[in-house]
């Protein structure tokens, strides 16, 4: 197998594994199904990833890499405009969750299974969050983040609001009497909820 073909095969396996694990969870996912989805034999899957748990860790690492890419793009904008940090992060996460609905399912299954990502993904994200914390501290002096608030609870609040509303779109629509399937309605609710954390943020979408 040539190197290019090997790379394509590995990518096909990983893409198929993302679909299988996100829909079936760790316990319900089957290597046979991943082989069928990717058109790769089981031996090739085991050769690349070792076993089911390692493959699941690789799926998590891939999902986390996409999140990190989102956060790094947000940081580039926020470092230039710290007064818009909350707005940039809010809109970046909205876009990320809309573009990657599988992320929420993989994260939920990973927590239920108690299995973390492989490699240096977690360490990479820790470095990104340290960088974000520095911007947060600058943003607190110019209205981009609430003054008198610690970084960790602020980040948890922002991410939890967005994660919760995306993950509970159907039930929240019923409970709140609004159609959160409509992106405009959905995003306005997210923005209004995040505004409760501090000074109202700009409403134009930047991410």
The 10s digit of each residue's pLDDT in 94-132 is 999 999 999 999 999 999 999 988 778 888 999 999 999
At a CB cut-off of 8 Å and minimum separation 6, what does 1 contact?
Answer: 9
Question: 3-state SS of the chain: helix, strand, coil percent to 5?
Answer: 75, 0, 25
Q: At 59, is the secondary structure helix, strand, or coil?
A: helix
Does residue 203 surpass a pLDDT of 70?
no
Among the listed residues 147, 63, 142, 67, the one whose alpha carbon sits nearest the alpha carbon of residue 106: 63
Distance CA 89, CA 61 (A): 21
For the beta carbon of residue 135, count every other beta carbon within 10 angstroms: 23
Instruction: Identify how many contiguous H helices and E strands the chain contains and give both numbers.
Output: 10, 0
Contacts of residue 34, defined as CB under 8 A and 6 or more positions apart, other chains included, come to 13, 16, 17, 20, 45, 55
pLDDT band with cut points at 50, 70 and 90 for residue 161 = very high
Asked if CATH classification 1.10.10.60 holds for the domain at 1-50, the reply, yes or no, is: yes
CA torsion 103→55→53→46, rounded to 10°? 160
Q: Record the tokens describing residue 154, joined without a space.
A: 């602020």
Three-state secondary structure call for residue 143:
coil
pLDDT (tens digit per residue) in 55-90: 999 999 999 999 999 999 999 999 999 999 999 999
Q: How far apart are the first and last CA of the chain?
A: 40
Domain boundaries, the chain: 1-50, 56-195
Name the band, by pLDDT with cuts 50, 70 and 90, for residue 2: confident
Q: Cα(131)–Cα(89) distance, rounded to whole angstroms?
A: 13
* pLDDT at site 72: 96
- Best CA proximity match to 119, nearest among 54, 46, 180: 54
């Amino acid at each position: 197998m040539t190197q290019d073909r090997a790379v394509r095969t590995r990518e096909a396996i990983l893409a198929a594994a993302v679909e299988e694990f996100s829909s079936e969870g760790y316990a319900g996912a089957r290597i046979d199904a991943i082989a069928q989805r990717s058109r790769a034999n089981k031996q090739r899957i085991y050769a690349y990833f070792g076993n089911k748990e390692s493959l699941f860790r690789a799926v998590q690492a891939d999902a986390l890499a996409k999140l990190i890419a989102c956060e790094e793009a947000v940081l580039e904008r926020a470092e230039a405009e710290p007064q818009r940090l909350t707005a940039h992060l809010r809109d970046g996460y909205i876009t990320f969750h809309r573009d990657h609905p599988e992320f929420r399912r993989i994260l939920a299954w990973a927590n239920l299974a108690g299995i973390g990502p492989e490699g240096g993904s977690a360490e990479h994200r820790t470095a990104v969050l340290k960088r974000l914390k520095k911007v947060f501290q600058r943003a607190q002096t110019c209205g981009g983040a609430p003054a008198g608030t610690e970084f960790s609870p602020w980040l948890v609040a922002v991410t939890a609001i967005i994660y919760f509303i995306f993950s509970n779109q159907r039930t929240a629509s019923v409970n709140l009497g609004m159609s959160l399937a409509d992106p405009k309605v959905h995003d306005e609710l997210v923005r209004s909820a995040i505004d409760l954390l501090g000074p109202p943020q700009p409403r134009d979408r930047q991410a």
